[in-house]
């Protein structure tokens, strides 16, 4: 729990008493490798904090998987827009590896935020950070060449090349798997 408290305080400082009370609402949860956690049409009931493991979110279109994001420790996981708006998810959340989480229900989270401004501010900043990441990703997909998208990704997250299957990384970067393999072999990492 101390690493979780530290993670939250890096986003926005919260008093120790409030943070302790909030963190006590989170429960441990584990899923096995390749387990679907959320499916399209299902409203996300939990927000997850990843202690261990890797998850991917993706949607299916014409029988092809399109990876949206990866989550791994230390970070939040889930389908954020479904959780925060309590609307049905449009895509899947699946564990790539065995995963160990802390999680909180929407009801507990919302109730706590209503009475604790500093935790509400923490999550406003979290959503701002998430939005910034989504906009940056859109820019990269729309404006950068295949090679530049690959280079940006490798400079930001080189460790993921060893942790996530190449087909999932290729999908995330919107690169054909064959071209992705060629980039790995050609570009010095």
Tens-digit pLDDT profile for residues 94-121: 999 999 999 999 999 999 999 999 999 9
DSSP 119: H
Provide the domain count of the chain.
Answer: 1
DSSP secondary structure string, 130-174? HHHHHHHHHHHHHHS-HHHHHHHHHHH-TTHHHHS-HHHHHHHHT
pLDDT tens digit string along 147-187? Answer: 999 999 999 999 999 999 999 999 999 999 999 999 988 88
Examine residue 66 and state whether it is found in any structural domain, yes or no: yes
* Residue 145, in any domain of the structure: no
Predicted TM-score (pTM) of this structure:
0.91
What residue numbers bound the domain in which 70 lies?
A: 2-109
Contacts of 23 (CB under 8 A, 6+ apart): 1, 4, 5, 8
Residue 189 lies in a domain: no
Q: Which residue has the tokens 């009801």?
A: 107
């Amino acid at each position: 729990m101390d690493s979780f408290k530290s993670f939250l305080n890096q986003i926005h400082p919260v008093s120790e008493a409030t943070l302790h009370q909030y963190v006590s609402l989170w429960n441990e949860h584990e899923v096995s490798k390749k387990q679907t956690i959320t499916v399209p049409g299902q409203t996300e009931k939990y927000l997850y904090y990843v202690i261990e493991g890797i998850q991917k979110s993706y949607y299916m279109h014409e029988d092809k998987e399109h990876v949206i994001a990866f989550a791994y420790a230390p970070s939040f996981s889930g389908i954020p827009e479904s959780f925060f708006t309590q609307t049905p998810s449009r895509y899947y959340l699946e564990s790539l590896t065995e995963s160990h989480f802390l999680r909180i229900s929407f009801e507990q989270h919302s109730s706590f935020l209503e009475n604790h401004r500093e935790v509400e501010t923490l999550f406003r900043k979290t959503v701002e950070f998430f939005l910034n990441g989504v906009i940056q990703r859109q820019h990269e997909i729309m404006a950068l060449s295949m090679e530049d998208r690959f280079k940006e990704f490798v400079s930001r997250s080189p460790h993921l090349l060893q942790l996530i299957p190449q087909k999932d990384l290729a999908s995330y970067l919107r690169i054909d798997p064959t071209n992705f393999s060629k980039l790995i072999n050609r570009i010095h990492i």
